[in-house]
Amino acid sequence: MRLAIVLAGVSFALNATARLYPSFKARLREKKFVAQISTRDSAKGRYFKFGDDRVVSKAGTHPKPDMEITFRTAELGFKLLTPPFNHGDFVNAMKNFNMEMSGPDDITLFFTNTISLMQTIRWKSGTKMPNGETRFVNNTNGGPLFVYVKDGKIVRMTPLDLDESDASSWEVKAQGKTFSPERKTTISPHGLASKSLVYSSKRLMYPMKRVDFDPNGERNPQNRGISGYERISWDEALDIVSGEIKRMKREHGHGAILCSHSSHHTWGNIGYYLSSMHRFMNAIGHTKMALNPDSWEGWYWGAMHHYGYSMRNGAAETYTRLEDCFEHCEMMVFWASDPETTSGSYAAFEATRRRMWAKELGIKMVHIDPYNNHTANFLGGKWIPVIPGTSPALAHAIAYVWMTEGLYDMDYVRDRTTGFAAFEAYILGTEDGVPKSPEWQAEETGVDAATVRALAREWGSKRTYLSAGGKGTTFGGANRSSTGTQWARAMVCLMAMQGLGKPGINFGNLQYCTPVDLNFYFPAYAEGGFSGDLEGTASAVQNYQRMPHLPSVNTVGQKIPRLRIPEALMDGETHGYPTNPKSIEGQFARFGYPAPGHSKVHMMYKYGGSHFGTTMESNRLAKAYRSPGLEFVVNQSIWNEGEAPFADVILPACTNFERDDIGEWAAAGGYSHHNQGQLNHRVIAMQHKCIEPLGESKSDFQIFLDLAKKLGLSAYFAEGKTELEWCQMQFLSSDLPKKISWSEFLKKGYYVVPHANEQQVPETSYKWYAEGKKKNVPEPHPLPAEYGESYLEGLQTQSGKIEFEASSLKRFDDPGRPPVNKYIPSWEGRQTTDLYTKYPLQLISPHPRYSFHTKADGKDSYLCDIEEHRVLVDGHYYWTARINRQDAEMRGIKKHHLIKLYNDRGAVVCAAIITDRIMPGVIHSYESSAEYKPIGIPGESVDIGGCVNVLTSKRHQTEKTSASAPNACLIQVEKWDFSSEIGSVAQENAS
């Protein structure tokens, strides 16, 4: 009886909503069908006739309903259908087959979405402004934004000015002063340029098919990247793609579909690749692209062996406190570290003011980098240019000075480390007869011995923060070189000698240090949104228990290392070493492709098009795209760039400004646990759908849902929920409901988490370790089994201490990684004489300053007009490369001349920037160009797009790693002119 009442209520509510909302009324007319809800024995039920202005419904059962929902019992039906709805109960009912839904996907999905629309249609987003604009909120890889919209068009985007309704800002007292951040959020240039990315002329506006691709006839894979495209309908596109998915499984079997994607996405937990894409790809089963830890390489494959932190890919703790730095630290050594460029990945310029304060307080600064980078130029201090790839030699010489002059913390070394004798024997040369003295390193590094001694003595006698890499705790160009593992290992050894964790002695550069409240929970993107992917995301850590949703599993065990996709496609076999953060040893488990008994890859589902810009020796990839064995390529992308024009079918996705999503600023989670420790204010944003998707583009969620419909998977994929409802689910799974109602959050668009009070702020990183206490910083790793003694006692290493001689490397034979860190000269550098004679310049290609990987580059964006980023020459915006004045004069190169950077691997044309900020013999050009524009046959001709990774080597740092080494790269540079035949082709292409 009660179920009957509830069911009658459903039909009443549908018609009541239709009376209130004309759009809902129109929706009711959209589809003609009969839906029926009943108990499994049909004893009780009701059916609903759709297709008119109002739903006609009757008690009882219909002889031929188009769709049915059945409940095992009337009680269950009543419980599930009575508000407030509990999705967990639905999930449990589905998992136990106590509730079932049958019927064609387009009808069931339409029905469930219509039911939920009764609620969501009442939801209101955004703040009305007096001038008729609506202020929405959104989030980017470079910070949150207010988005002002008028008449369906974005007017402007600004960082957030916080007001009285937002939580107060923290204050930190140190050195008799009070420090407090400005009451606003900062924004990176790639975030601020977002409007130009939305309205970019490079947007894909409708589905397309390569003109000479016929799924039922000639496929012409050799023409990928060459032929043009024709517009097709969504229906046709979805038919081809879903048809190919089925065909792959039918004709080739397990593993034939490869999913390849970038490591980043437009911001938002629901639309993120780890969310929608993982859920869909797991639902169809796919060969996985095994990501190498691009930005962490040296730390993951090297540093980790000395002190653990596998769950951070070998990065150090991120809990240093502002007070510790300001009260105790006397010097900061930035080594391969340019935080003003890399912004801690997502944290915009939140830490900039803090470093300005440090300078005002008189903390000395040293910058070790071949380039007088933006941080060095901005903060000043001592710049020590070092020849690329030789930093470990410099580090060893510093250790040498400390050892010979007694400038290290002997008590700490005795009590808190192991293996020092072996390290000492190597450094002092008692082992090999070669003392690693300042004189020894001078020839290698280009740093004179006197400078090394001066630096070592300063460092050995002053409490020093080592800012290793941009985050201060990891990353850095030096870790992305052939000697990257050696450098990162050396960084840990140096800090161990100085007493890591003692007051004022730590890893860091004030990037992480604010007293934001890290105990307030909101899911980070690495938790996988609604993917339910317990294996492939950090979902299991927290969100899976907090947000009821179905799990998803990729049943295919086969994987291909990202940097070996070209070999897999062209040669049909390759191998790699995994990024497995569970343990220190996880990385040793070599895996091969193809996996035993699996199909090789014949279809690629490509998400975005970034890899030309980010894959070493990237011409390989262009060639691989044209392999005959690769039968089908679909690319789902927002912009027509990079790899998109190498696909057979292109699906146009929209930006995060055109769909509903939710996400917290800088909250990466996973490897970057508590990444919000960089921020001045934690901002959790409702990422409003600010405008309708442009053209025929759709959200990634919607595209996957549409494909899922064709595969009968839509109910499984979306669980009857829309993107907006999943946003609410994320909201409900967090600590937000204790502080703000859903409707207020949805309307206002953001919540500032109040900062922590003194007692809630964790102790400074490694203080626990230096003092021999139990681990007390709030990171949920290492995993319990990784402790050698009692839980929370010591580090993850076998001894529980910092190991100068790494136990883990003793059991694994990799010639490039001996247990005691040694200087092994680069396999491509000034020491490789033959190659160096031919290619006498070293290319370094750090992460870019204005764009974020390929995000915001190209795309006709505002960034095109920033001269340091791209320069307009003869109608084409060329990527820039920095060359030392002397090297330029020698070659007759002047400002903004087009220059050809080349070696045996390829050639790229860039616009020259002449500067004394780069050391002679080194070329500096950022990696991650979004554009790849070969002027002839793709993979075999000069690129004018700016993908300098065309020039870098695919070789791994050491034999038994999958570590990339783009900063070990020799090239030659010469003036480029368009007089040659190939040049005139380029000019035509450019214009």
Partner 1 sequence: MNKWNLIIDIDKCHNCANCFIAAKDEYVGNEFSGYSAPQPLHGHAWIRIDEYERGTYPAVQTSFVPKMCNHCDDAPCKKVGGDAVQKRADGIVLIDPVKAKGREDIAKSCPYGAIFWNDELQIPQHWTFDAHLLDQGWKEPRCAQVCPTGAITALKTTDQDMETRAAAEDLRPINRNLQTKPRVYYKNLDSIEKCFIAGRVIHQKNNVSECFENADITLKNKEGEVVSSTQSDVYGDFRFDGLDPESGEYEIIIDAKSSGVKSVKTVLGESLHLGTISLD
Min separation Cβ 592 and partner 1, Å: 46
What letters, b where the CB count within 10 A reaches 16 and e where it falls short, cover 32-54?
ebbbbbbbbeeebbbbbbbeeeb
451 contributes a contact to partner 1 by CB under 8 A = yes
Cβ nearer to partner 1, comparing 100 with 448: 448
866 contributes a contact to partner 1 by CB under 8 A = yes
Cβ nearer to partner 1, comparing 386 with 715: 386
193 contributes a contact to partner 1 by CB under 8 A = yes
Binders in 550-609 for partner 1, by CB under 8 A: none
Q: Dihedrals φ, ψ of 496, to 5°?
A: -65, -35
The residue from 450, 553, 890, 982 that contacts partner 1 (CB under 8 A) is: 450
385 contributes a contact to partner 1 by CB under 8 A = yes
User: From residue 874, how far is each of 54, 913, 977, 978, 984 by CA, in Å?
Assistant: 62, 17, 12, 10, 12
362 contributes a contact to partner 1 by CB under 8 A = no
Q: Which residues contact 131 (CB under 8 A, 6 or more apart)?
A: none
Min separation Cβ 156 and partner 1, Å: 5
d(C-alpha 568, C-alpha 794), whole Å: 42
| Cis amide leading into 782 (omega within 30) | yes
Classify 929 as helix, strand or coil: coil
Min separation Cβ 29 and partner 1, Å: 36
Cβ nearer to partner 1, comparing 8 with 449: 449
663 contributes a contact to partner 1 by CB under 8 A = no
User: From residue 224, how far is each of 236, 661, 684, 939 by CA, in Å?
Assistant: 20, 34, 42, 11
192 contributes a contact to partner 1 by CB under 8 A = yes
What residues are annotated to the active site?
Answer: 264, 294, 525
CB 509 within 8 A of CB 256: no
Stretch that binds partner 1, among 4-12, 374-382, 616-624, 696-704 (CB under 8 A): 374-382
d(C-alpha 38, C-alpha 291), whole Å: 47
The residue from 65, 77, 103, 159 that contacts partner 1 (CB under 8 A) is: 159
Classify 494 as helix, strand or coil: helix
The alpha helices in 777-853, defined as continuous H runs, are: 807-810, 833-838
Stretch that binds partner 1, among 171-179, 207-215, 344-352, 724-732 (CB under 8 A): 344-352
Stretch that binds partner 1, among 182-190, 575-583, 629-637, 671-679 (CB under 8 A): 182-190
352 contributes a contact to partner 1 by CB under 8 A = yes
157 contributes a contact to partner 1 by CB under 8 A = yes
189 contributes a contact to partner 1 by CB under 8 A = yes
850 contributes a contact to partner 1 by CB under 8 A = yes
Number of residues in contact with partner 1 under rule CB under 8 A:
63
Stretch that binds partner 1, among 90-98, 184-192, 654-662, 710-718 (CB under 8 A): 184-192
Tokens for 554? 């990729």
Min separation Cβ 372 and partner 1, Å: 6
Q: How many CA atoms lie within 13 A of 313 on its CB side?
A: 22
Give residue 254's identity as a one-letter amino acid code.
H
Beta bridge partners of 400: none
330 contributes a contact to partner 1 by CB under 8 A = no
Stretch that binds partner 1, among 381-389, 773-781, 826-834, 942-950 (CB under 8 A): 381-389
Stretch that binds partner 1, among 452-460, 715-723, 792-800, 839-847 (CB under 8 A): 452-460
d(C-alpha 965, C-alpha 130), whole Å: 54
Cβ nearer to partner 1, comparing 41 with 182: 182
How many other C-beta atoms can be found within 10 angstroms of the C-beta atom of residue 440?
19
Stretch that binds partner 1, among 36-44, 73-81, 803-811, 915-923 (CB under 8 A): 915-923
d(C-alpha 717, C-alpha 719), whole Å: 6
851 contributes a contact to partner 1 by CB under 8 A = no
The residue from 36, 186, 574, 734 that contacts partner 1 (CB under 8 A) is: 186
Tokens for 853? 């990987």
Beta bridge partners of 900: 909, 974
Classify 183 as helix, strand or coil: coil
Min separation Cβ 921 and partner 1, Å: 11
Helix or strand (DSSP H, E) at 289: strand 287-290
872 contributes a contact to partner 1 by CB under 8 A = yes
Min separation Cβ 863 and partner 1, Å: 8
Beta bridge partners of 127: 135
Helix or strand (DSSP H, E) at 576: strand 574-576
Binders in 42-101 for partner 1, by CB under 8 A: none
Q: Dihedrals φ, ψ of 580, to 5°?
A: -125, 100
How many other C-beta atoms can be found within 10 angstroms of the C-beta atom of residue 99?
20
Stretch that binds partner 1, among 185-193, 232-240, 601-609, 947-955 (CB under 8 A): 185-193
User: Which residue has tokens 């524009």?
Assistant: 933
Give residue 704's identity as a one-letter amino acid code.
F
The residue from 372, 417, 574, 627 that contacts partner 1 (CB under 8 A) is: 372
740 contributes a contact to partner 1 by CB under 8 A = no
The residue from 835, 860, 896, 975 that contacts partner 1 (CB under 8 A) is: 860
CB 444 within 8 A of CB 825: yes
**Strand ranges (DSSP E) for 826-962?**
841-844, 870-873, 876-884, 898-903, 906-915, 922-924
Cβ nearer to partner 1, comparing 359 with 955: 359
922 contributes a contact to partner 1 by CB under 8 A = no
Q: Indicate if the alpha-carbon torsion angle 535, 537, 543, 547 is positive or negative.
A: negative
C-alpha closest to that of 952 among 617, 624, 481, 620: 617
195 contributes a contact to partner 1 by CB under 8 A = yes
CB 847 within 8 A of CB 881: no
Cβ nearer to partner 1, comparing 840 with 921: 921
Binders in 880-909 for partner 1, by CB under 8 A: 884-886
915 contributes a contact to partner 1 by CB under 8 A = yes
d(C-alpha 500, C-alpha 182), whole Å: 31
The residue from 95, 156, 590, 894 that contacts partner 1 (CB under 8 A) is: 156
Binders in 110-149 for partner 1, by CB under 8 A: 130-131
CB 225 within 8 A of CB 625: yes
868 contributes a contact to partner 1 by CB under 8 A = yes
454 contributes a contact to partner 1 by CB under 8 A = yes
Q: Indicate if the alpha-carbon torsion angle 869, 874, 876, 878 is positive or negative.
A: negative
Cβ nearer to partner 1, comparing 439 with 517: 439
Min separation Cβ 861 and partner 1, Å: 9
Beta bridge partners of 813: none
Binders in 426-445 for partner 1, by CB under 8 A: 438-439
455 contributes a contact to partner 1 by CB under 8 A = yes
Calculate the CA 98 to chain-centre distance.
39
Cβ nearer to partner 1, comparing 119 with 915: 915
Min separation Cβ 125 and partner 1, Å: 22
User: From residue 220, how far is each of 215, 337, 740 by CA, in Å?
Assistant: 10, 46, 56
169 contributes a contact to partner 1 by CB under 8 A = no
639 contributes a contact to partner 1 by CB under 8 A = no
Angle of CA points 802, 808, 812, to nearest 5°: 150
CB 358 within 8 A of CB 325: yes
Min separation Cβ 176 and partner 1, Å: 22
- Which parts of this chain interact with partner 1 (CB under 8 A)? 130-131, 153, 155-159, 161, 182, 184, 186-189, 192-193, 195-196, 199, 340, 348-349, 352-353, 356, 372, 374, 377-378, 380, 382-383, 385, 438-439, 448-451, 453-455, 457-458, 850, 860, 862-868, 872, 884-886, 915-917, 919-920
